[in-house]
Amino acid sequence: IVYPKGDSRATGEELSLFLCLENCSSLQGRKLYAEYKLCVKNQLNDNHRGCEAYIRFPASTTSWGWSNFMSPKQLRDSSKGFIENDTLIVVATIRRVCVTKFPCEMLTRPSLP
């Protein structure tokens, strides 16, 4: 989920980014662990802006991410290259997912670059 002017928890009009779970009811009491990265692509060079997470989605939560991912100043600065031709590119890289009734050890050894 992308909130260009921030979600309800953002300070100011920060760009907010979240990974969202679909069909959470199918977990049926199991826990979902995920290792992922959300990235805003710099369209001019390789100076992308990304954040990574190793999380267990609580039963009451259907999304996880960052309310204050990037400031409006950084986002709109044309020299940074995040917005080109009115286009913002957001990439979600999901490295590992584990669905289990038991604790998942995958989160103890981060592997994201």
Band of pLDDT at residue 85, cut at 50, 70 and 90: very high
Residues in the chain: 113
Parallel/antiparallel/unpaired status of strands 87-88 and 90-100: unpaired
What's the predicted TM-score (pTM) here?
0.76
24-47 per-position pLDDT tens digit = 666 777 777 888 899 999 999 999
Separation between Cα atoms, residue 91 and residue 36, nearest integer Å? 10
Span 92-98, mean pLDDT?
A: 85
Domain residue limits, the chain: 2-100
In this predicted structure, the answer to whether residue 90 has a pLDDT above a threshold of 80 is yes
Looking at residue 98, what is its pLDDT?
78
Q: Cα 86 to chain center, whole Å?
A: 21
Separation between Cα atoms, residue 83 and residue 89, nearest integer Å? 8
1-23 per-position pLDDT tens digit = 999 989 998 888 899 999 887 76
Looking at residue 60, what is its pLDDT?
66
2-100 architecture in CATH?
Sandwich (2.60)
In this predicted structure, the answer to whether residue 112 has a pLDDT above a threshold of 50 is no
In this predicted structure, the answer to whether residue 64 has a pLDDT above a threshold of 60 is yes
